Amino acid sequence: MAFDATFWVAVSFIIFFGALVYMKIPQKIIELLDKMIGDIKKEIAESEKLRSESKTLLDNAQNKIDSAKDESKKILDQAKKDSERLVIEMNDKFYKTSEIKKNLATTKISQMKDSTIKEIKNTSIKLAVDSVKKIISTSVDKSKLDNLFEKNLEETKTELKKINS
């Protein structure tokens, strides 16, 4: 029987696989593959853990952003209310102050008017008295003047008594 090339290829193939099994190469490959599968599973588990942590952090951050927006809206609303209240208060104070100043000005004008009228009366009386003195001193003699003075003095006294009573 003659052995041809196919036979020797088959024999070498069987010897090759026998050597591989003898050296435990398939077990090492299986162990290596199992190790790689384990590493991949660990990485997947770790990435799932990181994903859940990042989702938690994202949710927390979103909640904080939402609460900050709500708080800023509340602050803005309160600021608007406060500013409107302050504007109203300032307007009220302005009008009250204006009214007080108007009343003071009216009072001052009234006092100045009364003072001016009194001054005019006093000046008029003084001028009239001076004129009467001048007229009397030039046209009336002393005895008539004494009698007139006594008469006016008596009339003044009786008028003062009436006013005081």
On whether residue 61 sits in a domain, the answer given is yes
Question: What was the pLDDT predicted at 83?
Answer: 94
Question: What was the pLDDT predicted at 112?
Answer: 92
**Total domains in the fold of the chain:** 1
What's the domain range around 123? 11-164
Query: How far is residue 122 from each of residues 116, 130, 158, measured CA to CA in Å?
Result: 10, 12, 23
On whether residue 66 sits in a domain, the answer given is yes
Question: What was the pLDDT predicted at 165?
Answer: 64
Judge contact between 127 and 136, C-beta under 8 A: no
On whether residue 5 sits in a domain, the answer given is no
pLDDT in tens, the chain (165 residues): 577 889 889 999 999 888 877 888 888 888 999 999 999 999 999 999 999 999 999 999 999 999 999 999 999 999 999 999 999 999 999 999 999 999 999 999 999 998 888 888 888 888 888 777 777 676 666 677 778 778 888 888 887 777 776
On whether residue 4 sits in a domain, the answer given is no
The C-alpha torsion from 100 through 102 and 105 to 111, rounded to 10°, is -80
On whether residue 157 sits in a domain, the answer given is yes
DSSP state of 24: T
On whether residue 3 sits in a domain, the answer given is no
Tokens 């024999």, residue located: 11
Question: What was the pLDDT predicted at 58?
Answer: 95
Distance CA 36, CA 26 (A): 15
Question: What was the pLDDT predicted at 140?
Answer: 60
Query: How far is residue 14 from each of residues 10, 17, 18, 30, 73, measured CA to CA in Å?
Result: 6, 5, 6, 21, 82
Q: Which amino acid is at 162?
A: K
Distance CA 52, CA 59 (A): 10
On whether residue 2 sits in a domain, the answer given is no
Name the 3-class secondary structure at 73. helix
On whether residue 68 sits in a domain, the answer given is yes
